[in-house]
């Protein structure tokens, strides 16, 4: 009876692309459920736009954070562990936290775990994971990562991560963002300073390889990252894999959840 009262709520931004969802969000949820078998798994997404699109176009029902909290309350859950699959403690994570905190008086215990990049150890493990899974071995080839970027005060984490790549000896890995700093132009200018680089591998620094990866990064429009780097004279290839497809990143989320469960 006691086991049935404990739950794990995995909160993701979400994606309308079922192919990448199965390989990333679903994979992370499955790994978390296996790591914490005493907790019943629940899911919530924070993007209302994606939730509405899936319901309208595919008939797929994904609960919002509030709907998931209500369902757990109805199910008699008393102890909830929250594991976000967000990259940063940014806007989506802040909104999620406020929504969940409004339910505090209806549960005995609510424990928050952390997004991918929260402390220095997370950054170190992320650098090592990227280097292991994606770093090009050819001296004339660079890896350029496309992060989302945010207006939130946590956005400097992207620039800090770019610095950490270089500090840890990976001078052919670069970090840019779609919507903030470093921009694709900033990143291209930095790449140009290394005259030996002739080839570019583009990969999303996002949990899923959805719209941003398929269009903003790998699309054929003139303003896609692929087109921008090709126009600058680089031979370019794209890796359409979200971070959730790589085991080291799944392992980081599992570690966060287990650490939080032990608190």
Selected catalytic residue, list 148, 152, 212, 256 = 148
Distance CA 204, CA 191 (A): 17
Closest CA to 208 of 6, 8, 27, 7: 27
- Exposure string of 29-67, with b = 16+ CB inside 10 Å and e = fewer, is bebbeebbeebbebbbbbbeebbeebeeeeeeebbbbee
The total of other beta-carbon atoms located within 10 Å of residue 198's CB is: 13
Under DSSP, is residue 67 helix (H, G, I), strand (E, B) or coil?
helix
DSSP conformational letter for 228: H
Residue 148 a catalytic site member: yes
Closest CA to 252 of 203, 201, 207: 207
CA distances from 216 to 178, 248, 261 (A): 8, 25, 37
Residues belonging to the active site: 148
């Amino acid at each position: 009876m006691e086991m049935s009262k404990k739950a794990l709520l995995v909160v993701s931004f979400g994606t309308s692309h079922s192919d990448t969802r199965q390989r990333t969000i679903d994979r992370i949820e499955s790994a978390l459920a296996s790591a914490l078998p005493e907790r019943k798994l629940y899911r919530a997404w924070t993007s209302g736009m994606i939730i509405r699109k899936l319901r309208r176009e595919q008939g797929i029902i994904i609960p919002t954070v509030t709907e998931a909290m209500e369902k757990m309350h109805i199910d008699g859950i008393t102890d909830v562990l929250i594991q976000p699959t967000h990259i940063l403690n940014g806007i989506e994570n802040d909104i999620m936290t406020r929504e969940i905190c409004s339910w505090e008086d209806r549960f005995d215990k609510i424990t928050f775990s952390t997004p991918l990049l929260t402390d220095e150890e997370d950054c170190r493990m992320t650098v090592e994971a990227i280097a292991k899974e994606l770093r090009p071995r050819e001296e004339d080839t660079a890896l350029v990562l496309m992060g989302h970027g945010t207006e939130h005060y946590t956005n400097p984490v992207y620039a800090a991560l770019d610095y950490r790549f270089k500090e840890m000896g990976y001078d052919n890995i670069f970090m840019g963002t779609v919507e903030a700093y470093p921009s694709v132009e900033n990143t291209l200018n930095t790449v140009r300073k290394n005259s030996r680089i002739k080839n570019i591998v583009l990969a999303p620094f996002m949990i899923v390889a959805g719209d941003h990866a398929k269009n903003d990064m790998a699309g054929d429009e003139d303003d896609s990252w692929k087109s921008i780097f090709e126009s600058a004279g680089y031979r370019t290839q794209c890796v359409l894999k979200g971070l959730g497809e790589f085991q080291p990143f799944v392992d980081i989320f599992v570690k966060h959840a287990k650490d939080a469960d032990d608190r």
